[in-house]
Amino acid sequence: MRRKNVDEECTGEEEYEGSGMRWWDEDNRIHTSKYNILTFLPINLFEQFQRVANAYFLFLLILQLIPEISSLTWFTTIVPLVLVITMTAVKDATDDYFRYKSDKQVNNRQSEVLIDSNVEVIRLGHSYFINWDQKMYYSGKATPAAARTTTLNEELGQIEYVFSDKTGTLTQNIMTFKKCSINGRIYGEVHDDLGQKTDIIKKKKPVDFSVNPQVDKTFQFFDPSLMESIKLGDPKVHEFLRLLALCHTVMSEENSAGQLIYQVQSPDEGALVTAARNLGFIFKSRTPETITIEELGTLVTYQLLAFLDFNNIRKRMSVIVRNPEGQIKLYSKGADTILFEKLHLSNEDLLALTSDHISEFAGEGLRTLAIAYRDLDDKYFKEWHKMLEDANAATDERDERIAGLYEEIERDLMVRVEKHDETAINIGYACNMLTDDMNEVFIIAGNTAMEVREELRKAKENLFGQNRSSSNGHIVFEKKQQLELDSIVEETVTGDYALIINGHSLAHALESDVKNDLLELACMCKTVVCCRVTPLQKAQVVELVKKHRNAVTLAIGDGANDVSMIKSAHIGIGISGQEGLQAVLASDYSFAQFRYLQRLLLVHGRWSYFRMCKFLCYFFYKNFAFTFVHFWFGFFCGFSAQTVYDQWFITLFNIVYTSLPVLAMGIFDQDVSDQNSMDFPQLYKPGQLNLLFNKRRFFICMAHGIYTSLALFFIPYGAFYSDAGEDGQHLADYQSFAVTMATSLVIVVSVQIALDTSYWTVINHVFIWGSVATYFSILLTMHSNAMFGVFPNQFPFVGNARHSLTQKCIWLVILLTTVVSVMPVLAFRFLKVDLFPTLSDQIRQRQKAQRKARPLRSRRPQTRRSSSRRSGYAFAHQEGYGELITSGKNMRAKNPPPTSGLEKTLSNSTSWIENLCKKTTDAVSSFNQDKTVKLHEIPEQSIPPSKAVIRFLTCTDSGKEYKQTSVF
């Protein structure tokens, strides 16, 4: 399992098991590989011999080179050891290459060393299946799924808690301008002939922007009143659009066709600047000192006086510009909750109306953004700018002084509101993670630790009743019990509940004396949404679950502020969306669409767990059968260390005779088809409960192996005890006995794996029956006169195989041994499937009996719960772009911006991708209805509808600015 640290940023050198190391050079290049041509061999050998098993066998090999203290020759150890080291080195080299491209006794010895090698090969095969899966390939961006590690595949089949970001993960991180509220008037709504507000229908024609030669043809707006206000010269509307065209970090460049291309650092900014462009206020170009825009056909160049950059605390950005008339303006945009505190007192009435508009917008599932402006006096600005220069040059408390000056000038603002995209809670309803059928949705919004504790207590009372509370209002738990929530028996909760908590309240809820109450309540809810949380809080929630719930966790996100969450979970998944590659580089698996998570877990994850468990069960079985024969033989040879088989059979049993069949089963086997795995999510439950390989299954394998070893030894022993062959010679010689047992063992374990195989391919047939044929070929060759003549000391069983295998009684003994070994198991499995079939057994029978397609499941029409007033702000932005722009480091050298005659057509570079929420409902709604459901992390609007086998937690960051939503 991968070790991860909880950091807000991905900095320094970080190491992952199976993922190599990742670090940043001074030139900001990312390195993820560990080796080069010169260092591969020494580093890889050093790493491999750090494993206890490999070091042990190296030491054992050295001892076997001393004949006085070893009863076996050295090749019985060196052959499997070299094979294992070579196979592991090939796997490690393959892994590193792909990272570079995206940036006891001898009979037990082979088991211990070879299981590592086989496991690595199986994991590598499973990883390639993920990479090659065409159903996880996103043709829109030519992006396949990628397994960036080979060590965690089977854990994908054991996930109980999924933590997910919202924007760009559960939703498309694609922004479009929908509506706006300017000076108390809403633009963007559609009305019918009677003047009543109505939804947009296909027959409704969008506003005609053809008069604008630089319009984005993909842009659609259905309210002509906004264009009318622009044409009439409404100064408030003009100022609104002017702000959108000036207050941003967008860069423009000219392509080979003479068109302007916008390079945006977030889809939000691209949507805003594009909207202004389509409405006649076109951002043209910028230098470190100027911004040039075209206002209704007239080029205007503004002097950029200051850039007040965005950060996670400010949740806003501002620019101060001087227009051609010499007026100084401050334009600001950011979270409504922040900007509303900065408004001039004269805006009180407008603030109330605009707040209602914001609540309405958020209720419709749109993301909102407030914008505001202020006129600045020239003298005041000069004084303020001088203080800013002094603060920038300061060595002590520089950041605090700059922040204070920003706060001082960003006040007495005039407000406007713009909206786009969806907010978190509404996405929860859209994804059926929140539904109107829920008994209650608990909202935790306390401003202090006491308020949060009290709200959690009341919510728990609704779930559990008053008997869980003491007189002081606190839950009665010993600290030991609180910290060990694994041992708490979850009470039966009737009904469906959801929990919604904001980032401020979550900070208090994560305190040591409250967090266990939060976790207990959250795990009893069907859905938990954490809104507006920081990247660190995301990681803290993951760590809370990892620490107190003995379960495998998975985190999925698409941006840099998801990295800490991704690294904290046992398994991290990166979405290669609109936010760059930071999340992908920090992840174990990556793909382009959130909907692929369903297939990754329910198909690849479940199959990997199923295959690995079958491999381990069979591997231990065949080696117990192989090993215990020596134990029984010891009673008859006085425990003299004499082996019951010849040394070459001991050497080749695991690496030649039985290695390929078990590898084929571990790589290719499947109990049910991929479609049935998707259609019956209940099949995922055994992995969560670890039912397919545990201590009980291990002891069953041991008992099975011991029983087989008894049959393998005592049936030939009893048959040969006083019998003679067809030639009249006695059969009870050591060499004939060894050949008979060895042949019986190879046939028994081959028949057993044939019975264990659920899904047959050509490779399975070739490997199983080919291994049996290989055994006989090698046996006859090693017992031939020719081999004895060349190596008389190494091949002493001359002629024995030919002599023994021509005796009918030998074959009858082999047949009897095989039947006695296999028939009880066959009978038990037949009765079990007939009398107590598992869901997998039933579906497998269904597959055999019915080949017709399953009828499509009907989906309930989705309804949306009416919401109380809330903010829909979730602006995606990152700190540092302001300084980059004003320094000019990100701009190409070019001529000064022209003052007239710019003839360029703008083209937004934001690409449009498919809806990431597609099939999310189906991915979770069919999960089992019982208590194995676990924690979900989802944004405010993204929680699955049913009691799923996997619980989701969705997060939207305040750092982007996204609303973080956590779903338990």
Catalytic residues: 165
Q: Where are the alpha helices (DSSP H) in 549-646?
A: 563-568, 582-585, 596-599, 606-634
CA distance 256 to 248: 25
Asked whether the beta carbons of 371 and 247 are under 8 A apart, the reply is yes
- The two tokens of residue 257 are 């066709």
- Closest C-alpha to 169, from 923, 967, 915: 915
505, burial (CB in 10 Å: exposed 0-12, middle 13-18, buried 19+): buried
For residue 128, the SS3 value is helix
- The two tokens of residue 283 are 């951002």
Place of tokens 């389509």: 278
CA dist 863 to 856, 944, 945, Å?
Answer: 21, 14, 12
The number of C-alpha atoms within 13 Å of 202 and in the hemisphere containing its C-beta is 0
- The two tokens of residue 13 are 């050198």
How many other CB atoms are found less than 10 A from the CB of residue 79? 16
For 410-421, b/e burial (b = at least 16 CB within 10 A) is bebbbbbbbbbb
CA distance 510 to 113: 45
For residue 479, the SS3 value is helix
CA distance 501 to 499: 7
How many other CB atoms are found less than 10 A from the CB of residue 757? 19
CA distance 386 to 307: 14
How many other CB atoms are found less than 10 A from the CB of residue 152? 27
Place of tokens 């969560």: 688
Torsion of CA 662, 667, 672, 677, to 10 degrees: 140
**DSSP strands (E only) in 795-857:** none
CA distance 111 to 747: 19
> Which phi and psi angles does 954 have, rounded to 5°?
-110, 140
Sign of CA dihedral 774, 777, 782, 787: negative
CA distance 941 to 930: 23
Torsion of CA 184, 188, 194, 197, to 10 degrees: -80
If phi > 0 it is left, if psi is from -120 to 50 it is alpha, else beta; for residue 888 that is left
Helix/strand/coil (H, E, C) string of 673-714?
CHHHHHHCHHHHHHHHCCCCCCHHHHHHHHHHHHHHHHHHHH
> Which phi and psi angles does 497 have, rounded to 5°?
-130, 155
CA dist 135 to 148, 169, 761, 889, 893, Å?
Answer: 18, 18, 21, 42, 45
CA distance 824 to 228: 86
- The two tokens of residue 77 are 């150890």
Pairing outcome for strands 367-376 and 414-420: antiparallel
> Which phi and psi angles does 837 have, rounded to 5°?
-70, 140
How many other CB atoms are found less than 10 A from the CB of residue 325? 5
- Closest C-alpha to 168, from 506, 560, 605: 560
CA distance 82 to 99: 26
Q: Read off the amino acid at residue 678.
A: M
